[in-house]
Amino acid sequence: MSSINYSEKIPNNINLAEDRTLQRALEQWQPNFLNWWDDMGPDGSQNFDVYLRTAVSVDPQGWAQFGHVKMPDYRWGIFLNPGEQDRKIHFGDHKGEAAWQDVPGEHRANLRRIIVTQGDTEPASVEQQRHLGLTAPSQYDLRNLFQVNVEEGRHLWAMVYLLHKYFGKDGREEAEGLLERNSGNADNPRILQAFNEKTPDWLSFFMFTYFTDRDGKMQLAALAESGFDPLSRSCRFMLTEEAHHLFVGETGVGRTIEATCNAMVKAGITDPYDTEAIRKLGVVDLPLLQRKANFHMSVTRDLFGSEISSNGAEAFSSGLKGRFNEAKLTGDDHQLHNETYSVTRVVDGKLVDEAVPALRAINCRLLDDYMADCQGGIDRWNKTIEKAGINFKLTQPYKGFNRRIGEFAGTRISPDGTLLSQTDWDAQKGNWLPNDSDMAFIHSLMQPCHESGQYASWIAPPRVGINQQPVDYEYVKID
């Protein structure tokens, strides 16, 4: 079960050869995927030899093989974690029943919507990142970008497999739709707004992989709990790939901070707000990093949907989507009929905490778990700043800051959690979100640095390379 068959046209560990109908459907979809990759995948880099890791088994240890590959030759395939014998649904109204190996008829439409929504984000991020290869700060970073891109492509395959295998004709139509919608397209955009935003520079990429891929992690983790076993097993394997994306984000931001702190110390600058002097050093000032982080955090929080949601309740009760770490949670019955959960709401111009039926607050809970999960990396970034003796701390803005969806939509709230008038917001938002001069400065830093072992001024080299290669290894052979 755990080894992957690479002799087939579509690598897999699901015995694809024995399921002719599915094989035919996927083989018809494959050329469309490759066309999409050509059109919307990494711009101008299709001929580069990239030091990529490819999954060769789904064992947690040693599932990866490294080697130089041209991205269009990457072997996208279908890999599921091994099934658990006699697995039971462990939450919701079906708790205790055998996990579904087929789509439960009564939940079919909801399940399809969940899979399509998740699937839509995967190619969207590839589209958002497609121009970044032109301005990579190093070969090492360029390679990491491409690794993330090919794996997001594979995540799309993971969802398309489920649609093709379990949803018949409408599943095949949905799979086509996943290649037809495009990020930011006015007529046919991606489903979720954060995936229609631009990823215009490398700082955005690192923030995206730290904050927005982490939404991916939370969603996949919640779906890994699913009573629909094939979805659970798909997501479990996707999570192992996701870990690298989060690593790219955390270390990318971390190395940016390191370069800033080093340059400030060297130049004898102690005031983090001495923006002009700091930017002259060719590094990113810390307040700008905070504003960038504020933007990505707030946009990503919207991905969790309305804090109070009957869709969320239904997905949970019907056993399709659990809470984060559902199986490990203690303290309730995993059905939540009698529980409440505290949700912050805006009532009569005030922020109040309200006890809401826990079932209806499933989204809020996942968002709170997400925010807690974000903090570890932020603390590590702050350690770097502290060690350099600079008096500055990166923080998470208040949950309701700059939100467009859910309880806080339509209100203006500062990062410290004060409700504001529109006038006050307009006057101050340039201090909280990237302003025009920030973006122009970041843009000026985005110069390609594509020689082996060279790193742009604004980012420190990593401590160790990929797969224990040196940091000056030829990670990408350009032409």
Binding site for Fe ion (CB under 5 A): 122, 152, 155, 213, 216, 242, 245
Q: Which is nearer to Fe ion, 216 or 230 (CB)?
A: 216
Q: Which is nearer to Fe ion, 152 or 258 (CB)?
A: 152
Between the CA of residue 270 and those of 293, 379, 388, what are the distances in Å? 22, 20, 9
Distance (Å, whole) CA 438 – CA 433: 9
Q: Considering the complex, state which of residue 245 and residue 301 has its C-beta at the smaller distance from Fe ion.
A: 245
Based on its alpha-carbon atoms, the radius of gyration of the chain, rounded to whole angstroms, reads 23
Q: In 3D, which of 362, 368, 370, 364 has the Cα closest to residue 319?
A: 362
Distances (CA, A) of 255 to 92, 141, 445: 43, 11, 15
Rounded to a whole number, what is the largest CA-CA distance in the chain?
Answer: 68
Q: State in angstroms the smallest separation of the CB of 156 from Fe ion.
A: 8
Judged by beta carbon, residue 12 or residue 149, the one nearer Fe ion is: 149
What value, to the nearest 5°, has the Cα angle with vertex 162 and ends 166 and 333? 90
Considering the complex, state which of residue 253 and residue 259 has its C-beta at the smaller distance from Fe ion.
Answer: 253
User: In the chain, how many H helices and how many E strands?
Assistant: 13, 7
User: From the CB of 216, what's the least distance to Fe ion, in Å?
Assistant: 5
To the nearest whole angstrom, how small is the minimum distance from the Cβ of residue 245 to Fe ion?
4
**CB of 37 closer than 8 Å to CB of 153:** yes
CB of 213 to Fe ion, least distance (A): 4
Q: Which of 366, 115, 104, 63 is nearest to 232 (CA)?
A: 115
Select 121 or 344, whichever has its Cβ closest to Fe ion: 121
Quote the least distance from Cβ 238 to Fe ion, whole Å.
6
Q: Which helix (H) or strand (E) holds 352?
A: strand 350-357
Minimal distance in Å, beta carbon 205 to Fe ion? 12
The nearer residue to Fe ion, 245 or 255, going by C-beta atoms, is: 245
| DSSP state string for 194-258 | GGGS---SHHHHHHIIIIIHHHHHHHHHHHHT-SBHHHHHHHHHHHHHHHHHHHHHHHHHHHHHH
- Look at residue 56 and give its three-state secondary structure: coil
C-beta closer to Fe ion: residue 125 or 344: 125
Minimum Å distance from CB 122 to Fe ion?
5
399-428 as b/e, with b when 16 or more CB fall inside 10 Å?
bbbbbebbbbeeebbbbeeebeeeeebeee
Return the number of the residue (119 or 461) whose C-beta is nearest Fe ion.
119
